[in-house]
Amino acid sequence: MLLNIILALSTVSLSVAKPAANFNASTSTLTSLGCDAACQRAFSEGRKQDIEMFGTDFDFDFYATARNFSSSKPGDLLKFRPLNGSSLNVIYGLAAYQYQYTSVSLNGTVVPATGFIAIPYTSARRDGKYPVIAYAHGSIGIFAGCPPSSTSKLYDYDTWSILARNGYAIVAPDYAGLGNNYIEHEYSSFPAHANDLYYGMVAARKVFKNTFTDNWASVGHSQGGGAVWKLSESPLIKSGAAAGNYIGTVAVAPGSKLYDLILLTAETIFPKSNYNTYYITYIFLWLSTALRRAIPSADMSVFSQRLLQRAQIADITQSCNDGALALGLGLSPEEIITSTAALRNSTDFSKWQQMNAPAMGSKAEQPLLIVQGLADTTILPQITTNAFNDTCGFGNEAHLNLYPGIDHGDLLTASSPDWLRFLRERFEGKSTSGECKTAVSGPFDAAHMAVLNQSSLILDL
């Protein structure tokens, strides 16, 4: 039966290999847009890393909008194909598949989305079914040529593989606008990402019937942390049964109230001499584009002309992660925003947060575990703590686990014993306290533990 589905839904690309992202730009173009020699060197190094991740042989045929999309409804399966395990750099024994399905954008438009499904070698359950997780990835880029499902590692940076090693099947959307270009990616518009997670699970169950448990949960990191937090508040979870029975959420270093985050950065980080060691300073470039895409009429004068020029370079070159963020290297605070006062008075950014952020008053039906490193330079801990307090104030059950000395990228592994236990207990049907609780974990040996300085990923370019 599965083979018949594969044959019916798969597409075979015979086109000449070519990239969909991470293009080069001439020295004159870069110079005319305010990218000096140091900027050009950093951009070149970042671009090399992106090409290493995404390659130069994007499969335009598979990611093109399916012919039957126009007659589809949210949750419909549009395309499906297995991936060649020998071409992947993932954990052994894992089988992975790409798929395209129908989702819903921020404004309610029906859109195509893509992603991958990963299933471990065997299930530990007696019935043979796999407990299944909707996994929401962290930032990888904002352009169509930057989907996790196109990379050999399926954008695993010790993230979803932790789940697979523990017997969970993975359903991982790229998010609409990454992979398929029907719409531009609505970066950090969390209700849209929540739709992708929900309808991605619905579509995955259609191709893998009787493979997954009815119970499912979600785990997300960074951008994905905000996505799963918003999913936990979604009306789809409360009223829709097509995806199964939703039992809990793990939000790791979650993007939550991003306007509050960048305002706090401007007020407390930009005045520091070492402001450029905070990874959040490089995310402003993406957020300028995210605001414009969500609110086309937004007043962009809060951003400096130099930052907007660097964002234009990213657009021209369709740069994914490292290339785009490298364009922020060397910018002073005054070259990022025009002033803190202008940012504080930005009604459009405030509106965007009201449209998208979790913990704004919605009710979550299931327990939420929030995991935050106290040395995080991307998602400042104060923002996560404030959002946790807000969601608790609205009557939701949330648990906040804090990890001293841990930054953004190393949090998933450092905290994994705790969030894996949380998931295991949800699937075992164990009850929770029903109350909000905070816990602080300590390292076994802080002086000798391996750590990741997130900003070094940019500063070392």
Q: What is the pLDDT of residues 346-379, one digit of tens each?
A: 999 999 999 999 999 999 989 999 999 999 999 9
Distance from C-alpha of 281 to C-alpha of 319, rounded to nearest angstrom: 18
Distance from C-alpha of 427 to C-alpha of 377, rounded to nearest angstrom: 33
The order of strands in the sheet holding 245-252 is 77-82, 95-104, 110-119, 169-173, 130-136, 212-221, 245-252, 368-373, 398-403, 437-440
Q: What is the mean pLDDT of residues 211-237?
A: 98
Angstrom distances, CA of residue 229 to CA of 183, 191, 345, 386, 427: 23, 10, 27, 14, 18
- Mean pLDDT, the chain, rounded, equals 95
User: Is the predicted pLDDT of residue 300 greater than 80, yes or no?
Assistant: yes
User: Is the predicted pLDDT of residue 452 greater than 90, yes or no?
Assistant: no
Q: What is the mean pLDDT of residues 288-295?
A: 96
Residue 264, C-beta contacts closer than 8 angstroms, at least 6 positions apart:
380, 382, 383
Q: What domains are there in the chain, each with its CATH number?
A: 1-21+58-257+357-461 (3.40.50.1820), 27-54+258-354 (no CATH)
Residue 255, C-beta contacts closer than 8 angstroms, at least 6 positions apart:
188, 190, 222, 223, 225, 226, 261, 379
- Mind listing the pLDDT tens digit for each residue in 49-103? 999 999 999 999 999 999 999 999 999 999 999 999 999 999 999 999 999 999 9
Q: Which two tokens stand for residue 434?
A: 């029903």
